[in-house]
Amino acid sequence: MGEIRPKRALKRNSRPPPPRNQAVKAANPIIIAQAPGRIHFLGEHGAPFGGLYLSAAIDRWIKVAVSPRRDNSLRFFAPDLSERKRTTLANLKYKREDRWANYIKAAIFIFAGIGIPMKGMNFTVLGNIPPQIGLASSSAIEVAAAVALRGFLKLKMNDQELVRRLAESHLAFFEEPPSLADYLIGLLARNNQFLIVDEPNMAVTKIKSPFSRCKFIIMDSRVPRLGVETELNARREDLKAALEMLSQGGDRANFRELAALDLMNSMGNLPEEIRRRSLHVVQEIRRVLDAEDYLVRADLAGFSRLIFHSHESLRDLYEVSCPETDWMVKRAQETIGVLGARMTGQGFGGCTYTIIKNEAVSGYRERIEDYERIFGFHPGIYEVKLATGGRVVTK
């Protein structure tokens, strides 16, 4: 739970924490809200230069319970980690040692920042989104806490405004830009639907999934991911340099404003590595647009080709794959009944997803049994469904 690795558990209070299955009820909550994890099927490496995604929420959740206190203290409890944190409304700020609780504090900061009167509160948070594998567990904490507080404070604030204020709060609180796409997915997703997420315009197009007789399987490679941010920053710098070269002093802000023909005609002017990175982003934007058409027409074969081509592009052009995830995708591609497989997330390890017909699941699982023997990592395997966005689940 949370995308920050838990350290040594803090000393518990004299009263032992309740059993896991009673943890949310133990806080005597007024409001409980939940928010989902998500998969990016296409597009995640285009931001902030493209900002167009094919995504969906999944039926893995973070739940946050809120109950009132008589003082101004803020108390946080994570039974999954056996950890408790505390602060006050007057001392509401980021603390590195508060790790997962910082995401709840960022949600509180929304309402404190606009002058909503508040007293002390208890927060209990738990969930089943696997952390640190690119499924947006941290964003889910923020969204679940924000939805719970909106209900707790009885505010009339629509989802679009909540997304905007959550993004502003995250930037002020963490001093780093948030993922607007994650917030939009976390709030606006619906069961059994894909989302075309236009991040710069904060727009979401919903498409009914044509995969009613299929399963979605996430496979965590468990590859240690060291130095990832350095590599990703280098690629972002390459894209920034490409835009400067291709714009030739103009005002073009991102690759969505560059037609593919412009890029092809200018290809000889780009250094080879920058050319490969840029080509991936431009082609990925087209794949997202084409995927929308394939999904609407239920053209599963066309959609399947897009997904496999996207992984090849991530491997060969953007170069964020690794032998382990390449092996997973290759094994899936060789399995009859698989309609698509690709790495998802930031890369250099992490996860793949596979879309597979129900009757082919057992054969697929047999084909990936060699993974641990070959690479030495025991994979995590999760079957998921396309789920709805954040909401209050009880009062």
Catalytic residues: 182
What tokens does 29 get?
């909550």
- 145: CB partners within 8 A, 6+ apart: 33, 64, 66, 103, 104, 106, 107, 108, 123, 125
C-alpha distances (whole Å) from 160 to each of 61, 163, 188 are: 21, 5, 9
End-to-end CA distance of the chain: 23
**Separation between Cα atoms, residue 286 and residue 260, nearest integer Å:** 9
| Single-letter amino acid code for the residue at 48 | P
d(C-alpha 365, C-alpha 335), whole Å: 10
At 359 the three-state DSSP class reads: helix
Structure tokens at 17: 């924490």
Look at residues 329, 334, 354, 339 and name the one whose alpha carbon lies nearest to residue 301: 339
Structure tokens at 352: 């793949």
The total of other beta-carbon atoms located within 10 Å of residue 297's CB is 11
Contact 136, 55 (CB under 8 A): no
Residue reference for tokens 């002058």: 115
Are 201 and 253 contacting, i.e. CB atoms less than 8 angstroms apart?
A: no
CB 26 within 8 A of CB 101: no
CA separation for the pair 320, 317 (Å, rounded): 9
Smallest CA-to-CA distance from 340 within 312, 378, 375 is with 312
Q: What is the DSSP letter of 91?
A: G
